[in-house]
Amino acid sequence: MRHLKLVRFALLFGLVFVALATCWAVATPADKSYDAAQVYVKIGNDQHAVDELLHFTTSFPTDPRLPQATFLLGYSYQRLQKYDKAIAVYTQAIARAVGDAGMEIRANAHFQLAQCYRSLPTKDYDKAAITYGNFLTLSGKFNILPESVRKLS
């Protein structure tokens, strides 16, 4: 009986291993780049995230994840306190995130963009107020709250 359990375990383990290996083997270069960038963002390695996201956005300009990758690039610049670059990239993310599918990205980008305007050495409160207004319009219309706002509630 114990031998049968070991055989079943070995078969199950083998099937899981084959399934995972197949998934890893069929990952495209775009998948690998995007996944690596997400890991760098999650662990807070912002300079590596910037490098990988720049690679992704320039190498795979037609990938459907481009708007999200652009947002993450802006977020990484923001965390590096490179606010001018973050502002430029968030503006690109807003332009790239079209339709209802891009609504959450646009709302999040507006919120983070306003945060960047407030963080500039010149403290551009007028642009921040306008951008917060854009965020409120988007978030109220579709009940979207960015992650940074969710953390406050």
- The helix (H) or strand (E) run that includes residue 153 is none
Domains of the chain: 28-152 (1.25.40.10)
Residue 70 pLDDT:
97
Least confident of 19-28, 67-76, 123-132: 19-28
Q: Which residue has the higher pLDDT, 39 or 9?
A: 39
pLDDT of residue 7: 55
DSSP-assigned letter for residue 65: T
**Mean pLDDT across 113-117:** 95
Residue written as token pair 């219309």: 141
Provide the whole-model pTM.
0.75
